[in-house]
Amino acid sequence: MVNCRLTILNPRLLILLLFGLFNLPVSIEGGPQMSGNEDRKFNDFVKEFLEGYFKRNPVAATWIGEHRYDGELNDLSPEAIQEEIKWLKLSLRKLEEVDPQGLNRENRIDYEILKNEMEGDIFSMEELRGWEKNPLFYNYLIGGSLNSLLKRDFAPLEVRVENAISRLKKIPPLLEQAKKNLLNPPKVHTETVIKQNQGLIHLIENDLANAAEKTPKLKEVLQKASEKALSALKDYQEFLEKDLLPRSNGDFRLGKDLYEKKLKYILQSSLSSKEIVRRAEKEFERVRKEMLEIALPLHKELFPTHKHLETGNSLIQLVVREVQEEIAKEHPIGEELLEVCQRTVRDLEAFVKEKNLITLSEDQPLVIRWTPEFSRGVAGAGLDSPGPLEKHLRSFYYVSPIPEDWTKEDEESFLKEYNNEMVKILSIHEAIPGHYVQLYYSNRFPSLVRAIFSNGPFVEGWAVYSEQMMVNAGFDYGNPKLKLQQLKFYLRTVINALLDAKIHIENLSEEEALKLMVEGGFQEISEAKGKWKRARLTSTQLSTYFVGFQEIQDLERDYRRLKREGYSQKEFHEALLSHGSPPVKYLREILLKTDDRQ
């Protein structure tokens, strides 16, 4: 889930993730306090670089809160792509003219983050070449460009609609670029886009049409621009189905070389891929044993006549599965899922305040809605927060509805997976105190770079940490069923890391992946099939949850040792979240004060 930050996998995250802009954007005024000549050089460079970044990425700029380019779309012509590669390489050379040893600690951390970002983007554009291999990007670019103008009240509706009209006019040329650029994508990517493209059509036919009724002076010109965009999208739909799909024979597996390179830029972690897999395999065994300990008393209560003589993994498999099946019977039905999430978020907020676990936002409302149609089909839920330059705007906790083409069996399997207890864990992860709270804190940090290019493992790691922390703090009165679901949800995190590496490096088959999830992780088949799809669509992202959690857990342990009797859980949480969203290795340096430079 989240996405996150796939995070979230919200539209903004996917735009950045799928095209190689791996991190999440935040702030243009302010920054760490300058203290020397190198600091001044670095801050001047950051301002210059961000000007170029916003100009070349207008859709991302809108989300960030830089609105000078709200009427523009990204240029994906071959000439523009090559120009951007040259610009990135030139910018990297300019950055390297700054001596990082002469920077204060905050700027030195930002220097390393920005350098990683540039190198990662160059690698992505030169070697991954997403504009040729990944049609998902074009859909999220178009959908995100319009959706961000419609759903956030950062300017009068008339101004936002005028910019939407400008972007609508640029959709036909962008789709022509897509047709020319896309060569041989993996089949799963094209199949997903075929469904999502219908969502773009509905976005224009419904949401933009509603905006037209509220802006009568613009209604006629909006309708004309919409008609041309719709015609282009319907033509593109035919291209996807009849032209691109038959020749979508690309390999969704990255292979060891590309996977290792991409993983390095995504994680910015001290953990190697081998160490990640080693830890994940060890955790897989440990968590399953802990699940058995929680399940045994429940099993005795729920099934007093059931006696199992098996031992080891066989006993875990039987007892935990039987208890899980019983818990799964209590679940929302269809439309109730959204209402249950809304009610759960209110309960979580009250609990966090009661236990004084962290100070919550009073000025950034959280709205719970169904996932926009154009971004469905990758993750079941996600958090879409306002950009870092946007103040006091709403965050959206998106939950995906049951797909219309699912069978009754698929629907029941999904609802059993997201039973009443699991929805609580999901809402902790996405909302309170997970992504919603973390991103609110992140947006208050003044660093330009750290805010704009946040680290996925830290964002996802905090959300996973929140799941365990809330249950251990006694949410829902220490309900053992909830604890079992939290362990199951965490087991997903562990398995995600294994899937990510084994699919893209070791050629794990679909049958083997489903067995690992359904038997090893006690997942419902619908969840497992969805994750198999997601793992093929979003290489390296599934590792961020486990890596981030492991690093935060290690840091919390060392911070507790450092503070001894003076340790405060609330103090740790707020200290952890108050430095933007950098890689955890830099938070170790800050919180444990392992570097004396200020």
454 backbone φψ class: left, alpha, beta (φ>0; ψ -120 to 50): beta
Cα angle 397, 386, 365 (rounded to 5 degrees) comes to 60
Farthest CA pair distance, the chain = 76
Residues 432-442 pLDDT 10s: 999 999 988 99
Rg for the chain, CA atoms, rounded: 24
Whether the predicted pLDDT of 20 surpasses 60: no
**157 to each of 111, 146, 230, 395, 488, how far by Cα in Å?**
38, 13, 22, 19, 44
Mean pLDDT over 114-134 rounds to: 95
pTM to 2 decimal places: 0.90
Mean pLDDT over 349-360 rounds to: 96
Within 8 A by CB and 6+ apart from 306, the residues are: 299, 322
Q: Which residue's structure tokens are 């469904």? A: 195
Q: What is the model's pLDDT at position 450?
A: 85
Among candidates 100, 120, 229, which has minimal Cα distance to 164? 229
Whether the predicted pLDDT of 9 surpasses 50: no
| Range with lowest mean pLDDT among 82-91, 307-316, 379-388 | 379-388
Residues 297-347 pLDDT 10s: 999 999 999 989 999 999 999 999 999 999 999 998 877 888 999 999 999
Cβ atoms of 462 and 438 closer than 8 Å = yes
**390 to each of 17, 26, 138, 487, how far by Cα in Å?**
21, 9, 25, 36
Cβ atoms of 218 and 163 closer than 8 Å = no
For 370, the 3-state DSSP assignment is strand
Q: What is the model's pLDDT at position 23?
A: 35
Q: What is the model's pLDDT at position 574?
A: 97
Counts for the chain of helices (H) and strands (E), in that order: 26, 3
Whether the predicted pLDDT of 57 surpasses 70: yes
Residue 87, burial from CB neighbour count under 10 angstroms (0-12, 13-18, 19+): middle
| Range with lowest mean pLDDT among 15-19, 371-375, 440-444, 525-529 | 15-19
Residues 459-468 pLDDT 10s: 999 999 999 9
Whether the predicted pLDDT of 5 surpasses 80: no
Cβ atoms of 532 and 510 closer than 8 Å = yes
395-399 and 366-370 strand pairing: parallel
Whole-number Å distance between alpha carbons of 496 and 7: 13
Whether the predicted pLDDT of 34 surpasses 70: no
Q: Which residue's structure tokens are 């004309």? A: 224
- Number of Cβ within 10 Å of residue 466's Cβ equals 28
pLDDT interval class at 18 (50, 70, 90): very low
For 408, the 3-state DSSP assignment is helix
Percent of the chain predicted with pLDDT > 70 = 92
- What average pLDDT does the structure give for the chain? 90
Q: What is the model's pLDDT at position 468?
A: 97
Peptide bond into 388 cis (omega under 30): no
Count Cα neighbours of 506 within 13 Å in the Cβ-side half-sphere.
Answer: 13
Say which amino acid occupies 160.
R
pLDDT interval class at 6 (50, 70, 90): very low
Residue 137, burial from CB neighbour count under 10 angstroms (0-12, 13-18, 19+): buried
Mean pLDDT over 215-232 rounds to: 96
Whether the predicted pLDDT of 184 surpasses 60: yes
First CA to last CA distance, the chain:
37
168-178 residues labelled b (16+ CB within 10 A) or e (exposed):
bbbbbebbebb
Q: Which residue has the higher pLDDT, 170 or 376?
A: 170
Whole-number Å distance between alpha carbons of 368 and 335: 13
Among candidates 84, 43, 93, 112, which has minimal Cα distance to 265? 112
| Range with lowest mean pLDDT among 131-135, 202-206, 399-403 | 399-403
β partners of residue 395: 366
Whether the predicted pLDDT of 380 surpasses 60: yes
Whether the predicted pLDDT of 168 surpasses 60: yes
pLDDT interval class at 428 (50, 70, 90): very high
Q: Which residue's structure tokens are 């590309």? A: 258
Q: Compute the Cα dihedral for 238, 242, 243, 244 and give only its sign.
A: positive
pLDDT interval class at 10 (50, 70, 90): very low
| Range with lowest mean pLDDT among 48-52, 137-141, 485-489 | 137-141
Q: What is the model's pLDDT at position 374?
A: 59
Q: What is the model's pLDDT at position 411?
A: 85
Mean pLDDT over 551-561 rounds to: 97
| Range with lowest mean pLDDT among 86-100, 291-305, 372-386, 482-496 | 372-386
Among candidates 43, 41, 13, which has minimal Cα distance to 29? 43
DSSP character string of 432-486: SSSHHHHHHHHHH---HHHHHSB-HHHHHHHHHHHHHHHHHTTGGGG-HHHHHHH
Cβ atoms of 377 and 196 closer than 8 Å = yes
Distance of CA 473 to the CA centre of its chain: 26
Q: What is the model's pLDDT at position 361?
A: 82
296: enclosing H helix or E strand: helix 273-302
Q: Which residue's structure tokens are 């079941």? A: 380
What does DSSP assign to residue 121? H
Whether the predicted pLDDT of 25 surpasses 50: no
Mean pLDDT over 423-440 rounds to: 94
For 233, the 3-state DSSP assignment is helix
Say which amino acid occupies 234.
K
Distance of CA 135 to the CA centre of its chain: 19
Mean pLDDT over 41-62 rounds to: 95
Whole-number Å distance between alpha carbons of 322 and 328: 10
Cβ atoms of 233 and 201 closer than 8 Å = yes
Mean pLDDT over 539-556 rounds to: 96
pLDDT interval class at 13 (50, 70, 90): very low
Q: What is the model's pLDDT at position 551?
A: 96
Whole-number Å distance between alpha carbons of 292 and 515: 19
For 368, the 3-state DSSP assignment is strand
β partners of residue 384: 396
Tokens of 293: 């300990």
Mean pLDDT over 137-152 rounds to: 91
Tokens of 568: 């405060």
Among candidates 125, 136, 112, 184, which has minimal Cα distance to 18? 136
Q: What is the model's pLDDT at position 379?
A: 56
